[in-house]
Amino acid sequence: METAPKAVTEFSNPNIDVMYSADQISGRIKELGRQLTAEYAGKDLVLVGILKGSVIFLGDLMREIDLPLKIDFMAVSSYKDETVSTGDVEILKDLTNPIRDKHVLIVEDIIDTGLTLTRLVEILGSRGAASIKIATFLDKPEPRINKELKVDYTGFTIPNEFVVGYGLDAAGRYRNLPFIGVVKDPSVA
């Protein structure tokens, strides 16, 4: 028997304030997809998703890019299970394929201090890619330490608040929320 689609409200948590709804997110991703389709036309494009936070954004964004692209993933440790950035970036999982002569678009969930991305651009920058650009779903510019970091594509620019959902977690939880929200009381969450 056919079941009704899950209402967004079923995911609601009284301890979370919605910042961007699923509808607002999908509208913005469509816009980004159109922009990227135009800008990467005729280029050998590889989307490099940074695990785990980028998986939802990457999955939605890639379906809005009307080009024969490829995807690959990297996992790096930066925050681990804490909410403080150390600046130390350790590669936990490297790319599966070389990026020489490819146009690389790094796909990230959120840029905060910018230290993770700064290090990643340095690491990938030594591998002979034709170009390396950054697409982040969220940009939190206020706590940025590396002010020089160039962010090429941004979903939404947000204030300096800790957000969860749409791939982003707090100590591993909330990645499955279909919206972006703010945890009101972290001691309850």
Q: Which residues bind ligand IMP (CB under 6 A)?
A: 53, 78-79, 85, 108-117, 162-164, 168-169
Of 185, 154, 151, 160, the closest CA to residue 170 belongs to: 185
| Nearer to ligand IMP among residue 67 and residue 141 (C-beta) | 141
Among positions 49, 53, 167, 181, the unique one binding Mg ion when judged by CB under 5 A? 53
**Per rule CB under 5 A, is residue 165 in the interface with Mg ion?**
no
What is the number of the residue whose Cβ is closest to Mg ion?
Answer: 53
| Nearer to ligand IMP among residue 46 and residue 138 (C-beta) | 138
Least distance in angstroms from the C-beta of 18 to ligand IMP = 15
Name residues whose C-beta falls within 8 Å of residue 156's C-beta, 6 or more positions apart in sequence: 20, 28, 137, 138, 139, 180
**Per rule CB under 5 A, is residue 49 in the interface with Mg ion?**
no
The count of C-alpha atoms lying within 13 angstroms of the C-alpha of 46, restricted to the half-sphere facing its C-beta, is: 20
| Nearer to ligand IMP among residue 168 and residue 177 (C-beta) | 168
Mark whether 139 is an active-site residue.
Answer: no
Least distance in angstroms from the C-beta of 51 to Mg ion = 8
| Nearer to Mg ion among residue 36 and residue 50 (C-beta) | 50
Tokens linked to 114: 């910018």
What are the two backbone dihedrals, phi and then psi, of residue 183, each rounded to the nearest 5 degrees? -75, 120
- Please pick, among 94, 112, 169, 185, the residue that the annotation labels catalytic: 112
As a 3-state breakdown, the chain gives helix, strand, coil percent values, each rounded to 5, of 20, 30, 50
Do 106 and 134 contact (CB within 8 A), yes or no? Answer: yes
Binding site partner of 136, from ligand IMP, Mg ion, none, Cβ cut-off 5-8 A by kind: none
Q: From residue 138, how far is each of 9, 65, 118, 157 by CA, in Å?
A: 23, 19, 16, 6
Least distance in angstroms from the C-beta of 96 to ligand IMP = 20
Q: From residue 44, how far is each of 33, 40, 67, 124 by CA, in Å?
A: 16, 8, 9, 16
Residues designated as active site: 112
Residue numbers at the binding site for Mg ion (CB under 5 A) = 53
